[in-house]
Every structure is written in structure tokens, then in C-alpha cells.
Amino acid sequence: MKELIAVYNRFAETYHENRGIFDMSQIFNEFYTIINIDKGRLLDLGCGAGEPIPAMFIEKGWKVTGVDFSPKMIALANFYQPKVMTILSDISEIDFENDQFEAITAVYSLFHLEKEKQSPLFEKIYHWLKCGGKALFTYADQHYTGAESFSGYKEFMGEKLYYSHFTPPELRNILQNIGFEIIREDYREIGGEIFLWMTVGKPRKSRQRPDCAPRDKGT
Ligand SMILES: C[S@@+](CC[C@H](N)C(=O)[O-])C[C@H]1O[C@@H](n2cnc3c(N)ncnc32)[C@H](O)[C@@H]1O
């Protein structure tokens, strides 16, 4: 992954300058409606320069933690979004206490992790979310890589970047086995690229499930 850090360090500023091509306002508005709470804590995985999603949550009064392994990206986030609490780390290596966040996002980042590291991260995301919490992430599939299941390199902004993804049914299976409810899955074309946008939720607390455990893992 060292090479990916180097790539993002190299084009951090150009990426940030061109970030407006990929408009996130509709995605943010829809996710914010689904979250349906006024304020809370957001964890953004692969936060880049802290814009636009972390900035949109800050604007709404949320506390935001952003994690990224590129020192250049983190420096930009600290400069442009000083209210975001940034952590320089690989998202597959970081850990938090359980039940910390009302929302977790991973926008155009998680597909850079090897498939084998994605399932353990989904599991962690589940535990970091509070009961009823929601997560939104961008996922690659054959619309982007041309393959049903993929691990390899693709060109982006003149650089070769590593991508890895399961098939959509495999992904759904992984998420549901962990206990997530799949709330939305949308193919969206943004800036000429088609990705799968997944919105998932951790079940709410109920009298039958005081620890909000998924139904089939019952209490
Ligand atoms: C395409 S950029 C997206 C940045 C931001 N989320 C946005 O929407 O503009 C991908 C970001 O994920 C970060 N990233 C990729 N793999 C990572 C990993 N394993 N751990 C931490 N950050 C990672 C990169 O450094 C980069 O800042």
C-alpha cells in the first residue's frame, strides 16, 4: 500500500482542485435524510482533503473524525477543514471503541483495500456504529473495472491505482451476514464514472434486541 500513499501524496493538491467535478450534494442530502438526526458523530474513512462530505457534516454541526493514510491529504484536510479531527492511519489498521458513531462514510476509498481486508473493516464499521447508525460507502464493480470480481490496477488521473472488489451479490452477503440492513444500493454516474453507492444500517435497539443484535444472531 506504500505505492498508493505515494500516489495520493503526489496528486493530493490536483485531486482537491478538481474535486468539484464529482458533485456529492445529492448523495449527502439523501444520506442525511436517511440518518434523520440533527447532530452526532461522523467517522469518514479515507477522508482526503476533508471535502466535501466531512465539510457538509461540520456545516450541520456534527463532530467529524477523518482518517487517511496520505500525509498530504491529511495536511490539506487540516488546512481546509480545521474542525475535522484527523488521524493519519491506514483504515484497515485503525480501531475505535464500539458504539461511537451515528454515521460512517467511506467515499471513493474502500475499494482501494484488498478484498481480504474489506470484510474485517465492514465488521469493525458495524461495531463502531451506534444502534440505528448508518454507513454510506462507494463500491466498485464491473461498471468501473470491467470484471465481476477484481483485484488489480486501473488508471486514474494519469496514475495507476490499486482497486479490489467482490461481486455485488458477494458484497450483499458479507454485509448481511455481519448484521447490516441494506437500506439503499444505487448505481450513480458522477463525473463520468459509475460506482455502486451502498447505504447500510445497524439495527435499532428494541425490547427484543436491547443490544441491537441482528435478528438471526438473536438475543
Ligand atoms: C479518491 S480519494 C477520496 C477522498 C475523499 N473521500 C473524497 O471524497 O474526496 C481516496 C482517499 O482514500 C485514501 N485511502 C485509500 N486507501 C486508504 C487506506 N487503506 N487507508 C487510509 N486512507 C486510504 C487516499 O489517501 C485518498 O485520500
Using alpha carbons, select from 68, 24, 63, 33 the residue that is nearest to residue 50: 68
pLDDT in tens, the chain (219 residues): 789 999 999 999 999 999 988 999 999 999 999 999 999 999 999 999 999 999 999 999 999 999 999 999 999 999 999 999 999 999 999 999 999 999 999 999 999 999 999 999 999 999 999 999 999 999 999 999 999 999 999 998 888 999 999 999 999 999 999 999 999 999 999 999 999 999 999 999 877 777 787 655 544
Distance 75 CA to ligand 1 centre (A): 13
pLDDT score, position 219? 42
Residues 6+ apart with CB under 8 A from 32: 56, 60
Which pLDDT belongs to residue 215? 59
Nearest ligand 1 atom, CA 19: 9
Integer Cα distance of 192 and 208 in angstroms: 46
Computed over its alpha carbons, how large is the radius of gyration of the chain?
A: 17
Q: Give the domains, in start order, of the chain with CATH numbers.
A: 2-217 (3.40.50.150)
Q: Which residue has the cell 474535486?
A: 19
Q: Which three cell numbers stand for residue 57?
A: 457534516
d(CA 181, CA 213): 11
Neighbours of 130 (CB within 10 A): 18
Q: Which residues line the pocket of ligand 1, CB cutoff 6 A?
A: 1, 4, 8, 19, 46-48, 68-70, 73, 90-92, 107-109, 112-113
| Distance from residue 133's CA to the centre of ligand 1 (Å) | 22
CA dihedral over 170, 181, 194, 14, signed as positive or negative: negative
Closest atom, ligand 1, to C-alpha of 12: 27
Ligand 1 pocket, mutate which of 11, 68, 160, 188 (most atoms under 8 A from CB): 68
Phi-psi region of 46 (alpha: psi -120 to 50; beta: other; left: phi over 0): left
Please calculate the CA angle 30-114-53 and round it to the nearest 5 degrees: 25
pLDDT at 168: 98
Q: What is the pTM of this model?
A: 0.96
Nearest residue (by CA) to ligand 1, atom 15, is: 109
Among left, alpha and beta (phi > 0; psi -120 to 50; other), residue 105 is beta
Which residue in this structure is represented by grid cell 438473536? Answer: 218
For ligand 1, atom 12, the nearest C-alpha belongs to: 46
- Separation of 161 CA from ligand 1 center, angstroms? 11
Centre of ligand 1 from the C-alpha of residue 84, in Å = 15
